[in-house]
Homo-oligomer: A and B are copies of this chain.
Amino acid sequence: MKIKELSKLVGVTIRTLHYYDEIGLLSPQKDDAGYRIYSENDIKRLSEILMLKELEFSLTKIKVLIDEPLVDKEKALLIHRDILEKKNERIYALIDSIDNILRNGFEIEIIKNFNKNDYKRYKDEAIKKYGDSAVQSYKKTDKLDTTKWNSIQDEMKDLFSTLATYMDKDVSDDSVQILVNDWRNYITDNFYDCTLEILKGLGELYISDKRFEANIDKTKIGLSNYFSKAIKYYCNVRTK
């Protein structure tokens, strides 16, 4: 069977078959003219390749799975199943994120994601060190249902309206600084460990990002600017 016939039969492109030959995944015999001639065994092998690919195995893994009779295919499938389920969980979280954005706007999501990479890095390192089960407690970030979101929204509003009544005070005032500290604890409790560095970054966001500004200033004009200054003071006092 020549290349086009096979490509039509199984529904892959000729280039794909060329490529599989190139990487040694499926290397048929060649005739005198150099044309690839696919045998029944090649068809069988290709069908297996395509099925494993359908399951989103990488081509290198497929090669190992097919060529090494030593590997435990069932185990590989189970592991792969696990990976797929985690992927699914992640996608669920993403959809959830989008829903939250559509309901509540961008700002909370930005806070949530501000140092998600850091969080993930720490988590990965922690898993390496202590195993997966020990790190389950970090999961709090992932799933927040609607009622939780509403309570978060409410607490934010409370904090902002209290802060609004302080706006004639200097940002160094104790009552203001206590509120900033509350806000910091609040983030730590609900999202991730809010270090001074992160808090500083968030404070800078609050003045430069119009979406934050608009949301915070709904409570009182100029509040976002005031809040940002209060955070800056809070951080400066505590940095060295």
Contacts and interface: CB of A to CB of B under 8 A. Distances in A.
Interface of A: 8-12, 40-41, 43-44, 47-48, 50-51, 54-56, 74, 77-78, 80-81, 84-85, 87-88, 91-92, 94-95, 97-99, 101-102, 106, 109-110, 113-121, 197-198, 201, 204-205, 207-209
Residue from A9, A101, A106, A109 whose CB has the most chain B CB atoms within 10 Å: A9
Nearest to A42: B208
A88 B85 contact: no
A12 B117 CA distance: 7
Nearest to A7: B117
The 8 closest A-B pairs by CB, nearest first: A11-B117, A11-B118, A44-B208, A40-B208, A40-B204, A51-B113, A44-B209, A81-B98
Nearest to A120: B11
Given A10-B115, A47-B114, A81-B95, 10 more contacts: A8-B197, A12-B117, A44-B204, A44-B208, A47-B201, A48-B106, A48-B209, A54-B116, A55-B97, A80-B98
Nearest to A204: B40
A97 B201 contact: no
B8 A47 contact: no
A207 B43 CA distance: 11
B74 A102 contact: yes
A115 B9 contact: yes
B98 A77 contact: yes
A10 B204 contact: no
